[in-house]
Amino acid sequence: QKEVEQDPGPLSVPEGAIVSLNCTYSNSAFQYFMWYRQYSRKGPELLMYTYSSGNKEDGRFTAQVDKSSKYISLFIRDSQPSDSATYLCAMGTGRRALTFGSGTRLQVQP
């Protein structure tokens, strides 16, 4: 079993929809949680960074961390075709390399 599980998708939604992307993990030592957006053949771009549990909002993006359930989510409101990309979750303990999910491919249809 992988330390971080992420549904590969693809997830197809109409423009304007609310998108929910999720990762589950097994290592209770993870304290730092990140979401990256990666366009095709480009470098991952850091979208959200959260320490420990709770919510963080930035514009149309909201990240949630539930450490008790070992579950993190990224919500995208009013999704746009430009949001079409692969979304990678990443998490770490601060003492070793980040562990990345395999990525969820999102397609927002105009």
Q: Which is nearer to another protein, 13 or 98 (CB)?
A: 98
Q: Is 82 helix (H, G, I), strand (E, B) or coil?
A: helix
Beta bridge partners of 58: 61
Shortest reach from residue 73's CB to another protein, in Å? 19
CB of 2 to another protein, least distance (A): 9
- Between the alpha carbon of residue 31 and those of residues 46, 55, 63, 75, 90, the distances in Å are 17, 14, 14, 20, 11
Nearer Cβ to another protein, position 17 or 67? Answer: 67
Residues forming the site for another protein (CB under 8 A): 32, 34, 36, 41-46, 49, 88, 92-98, 100-103
